[in-house]
């Protein structure tokens, strides 16, 4: 059945199949291996396919990090480019193949680092727009008896133990400064993608065209970003994004360790981060990622071996993941040529 489906999906050559089928079980095993190799060739790095007695599995066996060469200075051209890239990543993640992008990793409103919520809410009104030294001075003068948050990530049992000069105090200042910087430089309003995706993408495409004229030094990047929005809209309209595929064929799923509904995406092995080397905050994200993989394992899905296993389920998933990865790599390559000013 798998071989028959592979032929229909153009993963195998008919002449090759006829010759090997005559060899019996050994020939079929060889064809199955050729099929898996063909699927592997279309999957992004870190992913593979395997055959089990109950079906075909697509699984993550390694995490992949892509660091983008985004400018960090405060120039209008740099800020416009950062926001445009994050918008494009969000569109790809939401409507082709969900992955961990900077927006979901660091934005506390998305609750990825949910245990920082109380810390951020406690200090946000005081430190918005402030640099590290200013934050240090503000926290030094605070009434610590009014601090209410879980302090375990700072290595203490009570927030009142976090005093100037202590290692925990420096860690608190570092994390707050990094969260503030991230929120200021990279945060976007994502509601449009949930409420009117096609219209939002069309608006972004037109905006990218305008930004290319306004900032001609970044025109090449904006052209790639426009392509990303166009592709995301096409996948959404055609019902080819991962969530649509899951929903339309979910009765074929035998086993899974990931699902969009649970917030652990099948494409969860890919992490796209800004070029900034976030220190303490980056450590927390890495800890979360490592805990996720240790407790749950790499994202994977096993699809029942019956008619439709390749053409209706596996290949659309593979194509969605491949398109998302292609676009992200295109963005990464386009950004490599950006010259940073004032860093």
Domain match, 294 and 217 both:
yes
Domain match, 209 and 338 both:
yes
Domain match, 245 and 98 both:
yes
End-to-end CA, the chain: 57
Q: Which DSSP string do the residues of 253-312 spell out, in sequence order?
A: EEEES-BGGGTB-TTTTEEEEESS--SHHHHHHHHHHHHHHHHH-S-EEEEESSTTIIII
Amino acid 132: pLDDT: 94
Asked which of 164, 191, 218 is the last residue of a domain, the reply is 191
Q: In which element (H, E) is residue 121 found?
A: helix 117-127
What range defines the domain where residue 175 resides? 111-191
Domain match, 208 and 168 both:
no
pLDDT by 10s per residue, the chain, length 343: 888 888 888 998 888 777 777 777 788 888 888 999 999 999 999 999 998 888 899 999 888 888 999 998 889 999 999 999 999 999 999 889 888 888 888 887 777 788 888 899 999 999 988 999 999 999 999 999 999 899 998 999 999 999 999 999 999 999 999 999 888 888 888 889 989 999 999 999 999 999 999 999 999 999 999 999 999 999 999 999 988 998 898 899 998 887 666 656 788 888 898 887 778 888 888 888 888 778 777 888 999 988 989 999 999 999 999 999 999 999 999 999 887 654 4
Amino acid 331: pLDDT: 97
Q: Which DSSP string do the residues of 16-45 spell out, in sequence order?
A: HHHHHHTTTHHHHHHHHHHHHHHHHHHSPT
Q: How many domains are contained in the chain?
A: 3
Cβ proximity of 186 and 296 under 8 Å: no
């Amino acid at each position: 059945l798998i071989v028959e489906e592979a032929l229909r999906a153009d993963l195998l050559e008919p002449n090759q199949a006829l010759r090997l089928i005559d060899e019996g079980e050994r020939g079929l095993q060889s064809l199955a291996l050729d099929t898996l190799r063909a699927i592997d060739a279309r999957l992004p790095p870190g992913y593979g396919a395997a055959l089990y007695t109950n079906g075909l599995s697509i699984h993550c066996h390694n995490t992949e990090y892509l660091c983008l060469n985004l400018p960090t200075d405060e120039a209008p051209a740099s800020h416009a480019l950062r926001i445009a890239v994050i918008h494009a990543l969000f569109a790809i993640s939401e409507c082709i193949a969900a992955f961990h992008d900077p927006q979901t990793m660091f934005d506390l409103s998305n609750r990825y680092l949910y245990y920082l919520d109380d810390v951020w809410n406690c200090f946000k009104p005081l430190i918005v727009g402030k640099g590290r030294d200013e934050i240090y001075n503000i926290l030094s003068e605070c009434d610590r008896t009014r601090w209410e948050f879980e302090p375990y990530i700072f290595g203490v049992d009570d927030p009142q133990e976090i005093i100037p000069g202590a290692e925990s105090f420096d860690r608190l200042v570092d994390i707050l400064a990094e969260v503030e910087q991230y929120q200021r430089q990279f945060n976007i309003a994502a509601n449009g993608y949930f409420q009117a995706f096609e219209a939002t993408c069309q608006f972004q495409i037109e905006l990218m065209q305008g930004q290319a004229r306004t900032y001609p030094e970044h025109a090449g990047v904006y052209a790639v970003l426009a392509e990303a929005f166009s592709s995301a809209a096409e996948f959404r309209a055609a019902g080819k994004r991962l969530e649509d595929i899951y929903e339309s064929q979910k009765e074929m799923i035998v086993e899974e360790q990931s699902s969009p509904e649970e917030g652990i995406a099948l494409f969860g092995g890919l992490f796209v981060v800004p070029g900034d080397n976030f220190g303490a905050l980056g450590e927390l994200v890495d800890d979360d990622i490592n805990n996720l993989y240790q407790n749950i394992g790499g994202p994977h899905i096993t699809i029942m071996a019956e008619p439709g296993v390749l053409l209706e389920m596996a290949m659309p998933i593979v194509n969605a993941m491949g398109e998302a990865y292609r676009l992200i790599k295109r963005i990464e390559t386009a950004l490599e040529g950006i010259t940073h000013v004032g860093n």
